[in-house]
Amino acid sequence: MARAYNFSAGPAILPEEVLKQAQAELLDFNGTGMSIMEMSHRGKDYSAVHQEAKDNLKKLLNIPDNYSVLFMTGGASTQFSLIPMNLLGEGQTADYITAGAWSSKAIKAAKKLGISVNELANTAKDVPTRVPGNDLEFTPGAAYVHICSNETISGAQVKEFPKTDAPLIADMSSDILSRPLDVSQFGMIYAGAQKNLAPAGVTLVIIRNDLAEKSPDTLPELFQYKHFMENDSLSNTIPTFPVYMIMLVTRWLLEKGGLEGVQKMNEEKAAKLYAAIDASDFYNGTAVPEFRSPMNVTFRLPTEDLEAQFVKEAAAKGMTSLKGHRSVGGIRASIYNAFPAAGVDALIEFMKEFEAANA
């Protein structure tokens, strides 16, 4: 059976080479006669995997020495609560930039804890979709500023991060490792694995050590960044298989020329697809052009019926999961790092045929 061109927003496509490697090692990892998922998270085989996953991430992102790479659980959504619980001291406040569904959830989780947070801007309801510009008034003394780098649902991406005095914290779940990044601009970066990194089950957190130190001792240990930092994320049983997959995916990225190489591939794929949208009056991009995401390409057809027909006919041709998120409708083509250029070409070809038959 042929592999589908899988446009799913997440859990999402993984590199075929990586899946084959995982398959080859599934029954016998490193001559142990066991799968990586069947062995101790404290043994030497898993330890080497854990270390390589961290080392590869450090290499790809040039992570400075005063940052820690943590592997946590509960998805990016759990971070929405853990961030204020760990980083907001007594009587402190934080700034939030809201640009879509995910950053809306982040501020909502913070408010739920009963803390006063400042929403500096909110473009979540804007159509066409966009992220706020950088004309923001930060709150003096704020403990941190929270932003989402890529709104997965609307398809709008932050192109230039705001300069802040307070530590900038970014939810990069849907564009982590898709472009080079200056980690020193951030106090913390986090991402659920299932879009651009690995299967679901692990959450990557890259945090400046002095911030991790702020975790209050009154928090349960497994909610504390400090505890994860001090125990190298191994205080309890870690999701070993997802971390192993991060190791393989980051190895694959290093082989592809690191983040510069990957960004080039991503930009080529996205540019082609957006050009096809712009070349036609039948398709309409959902995001403001200057904020268009190279990861989640969102667009509309003239009617919802045509959109449903488009999704159905594309699926029959092996192009799956093109339906936009239920909250916004339309079409969403998620073309993460692992999505092949040939799949983008196939979609463009289909878009032309569909328009010719239905315009």
Ligand X SMILES: *Cc1c(COP(=O)(O)O)cnc(C)c1O
Interface with ligand X (CB under 6 A) = 10, 75-77, 102, 148, 152, 171, 173-174, 192, 195
Which of 95, 102, 226, 323 is catalytic? The answer is 102
* 237 is an annotated ligand-binding site residue: yes
Q: Which is nearer to ligand X, 53 or 99 (CB)?
A: 99
Tell me the three-class secondary structure of 280-348, residue by residue.
Answer: CCCCEECECHHHECCCEEEEECCCHHHHHHHHHHHHHCCEECCECCCCCCCEEEECCCCCCHHHHHHHH
* 171 is an annotated ligand-binding site residue: yes
- 95 classed as catalytic: no
Q: Which is nearer to ligand X, 72 or 277 (CB)?
A: 72
Q: How far apart are CA 174 and CA 296, in angstroms?
A: 8
Q: Which is nearer to ligand X, 168 or 301 (CB)?
A: 168
Smallest gap, in angstroms, from Cβ of residue 90 to ligand X?
28
Q: How far apart are CA 87 and CA 99, in angstroms?
A: 22
- 252 classed as catalytic: no
Q: Which is nearer to ligand X, 6 or 152 (CB)?
A: 152
Q: Which residues pair with 190 in a beta bridge?
A: 171, 205
In order, the DSSP letters of 123-174 are: -TT-SSB----S---PPTT-S-EEEESEETTTTEE-SSPPP-SSPEEEE-TT
Smallest gap, in angstroms, from Cβ of residue 330 to ligand X?
17
* 42 is an annotated ligand-binding site residue: yes
Which of 195, 226, 269, 323 is catalytic? The answer is 195
Smallest gap, in angstroms, from Cβ of residue 326 to ligand X?
14
Element (H, E) at 6: strand 5-6
Cβ–Cβ < 8 Å for 195, 173:
yes
Smallest gap, in angstroms, from Cβ of residue 281 to ligand X?
30
Element (H, E) at 268: helix 258-278
* 356 is an annotated ligand-binding site residue: no
* 102 is an annotated ligand-binding site residue: yes
Q: Which is nearer to ligand X, 77 or 134 (CB)?
A: 77
Asked if residue 180 has a cis previous peptide bond (ω within 30° of 0), the answer is no
Which of 171, 252, 269, 323 is catalytic? The answer is 171
Its sign, for the CA torsion 45, 46, 48, 53, is positive
* 208 is an annotated ligand-binding site residue: no
Smallest gap, in angstroms, from Cβ of residue 195 to ligand X?
6
Smallest gap, in angstroms, from Cβ of residue 141 to ligand X?
27
* 77 is an annotated ligand-binding site residue: yes
Q: How far apart are CA 294 and CA 130, in angstroms?
A: 14
Kindly give, in sequence order, each residue whose CB lies less than 8 Å from that of residue 51, ignoring residues fewer than 6 positions away: none
Asked if residue 167 has a cis previous peptide bond (ω within 30° of 0), the answer is no
Start-to-end CA distance of the chain, whole Å, equals 33
Q: Which is nearer to ligand X, 39 or 158 (CB)?
A: 158
In order, the DSSP letters of 13-62 are: ---HHHHHHHHHTSS-STTSSS-GGGS-TTSHHHHHHHHHHHHHHHHHHT
User: Which segments are annotated as binding site for pyridoxal 5'-phosphate?
Assistant: 76-77, 102, 152, 171, 194, 236-237
User: Which segments are annotated as binding site?
Assistant: 42, 76-77, 102, 152, 171, 194, 236-237
Question: Which are the catalytic amino acids?
Answer: 102, 171, 195
User: Which segments are annotated as binding site for L-glutamate?
Assistant: 42
